[in-house]
Amino acid sequence: MNAWFQTYDLADIEAGRTDLKEIEWSRCYSSSLSRAVKTAELIFQGPITQMAELKEIAPPALPARLRLPFLLWAILIRRGFNGPKFKIASNGELYLFERQQPES
């Protein structure tokens, strides 16, 4: 698994366009894989928070192509965010998660 992460992490990325939905973003979260950070840097012009825990807590039974997107989704939901459900995240696609407001 470590060899797969290293090979994937070193692969070139293809610059594309990402629709940021005309929102002024203040934060960006990314996997700590250098490839994910490079993609985030192309898309977001501010500080990027790397989430190293995604790689460390990946359940071994979950296929690699699903593991990181699923973990990011699960962490955000657990932290009180709502967002789209997806099985495989598309490269460079924006997935908007918003914090749920507590009910009064």
Phi, psi of 23 (to 5 degrees): -105, 140
Q: 34-43 vs 2-10: helix axis angle to the nearest 10?
A: 30
Are 43 and 20 spatial neighbours (Cβ–Cβ below 8 Å)? yes
Q: State pLDDT tens for residues 28-65.
A: 888 777 787 888 888 888 888 887 665 555 555 555 55
Per-residue confidence (pLDDT) for residue 59, from 0 to 100: 56
pLDDT averaged over every residue in the chain = 77
Query: 40: part of which helix (H) or strand (E)?
Result: helix 34-43
Number of H helices, E strands in the chain: 4, 4
Per-residue confidence (pLDDT) for residue 56, from 0 to 100: 57
Burial class (CB in 10 A: 0-12, 13-18, 19+), 38: middle
Does residue 18 carry a pLDDT above 70?
A: yes
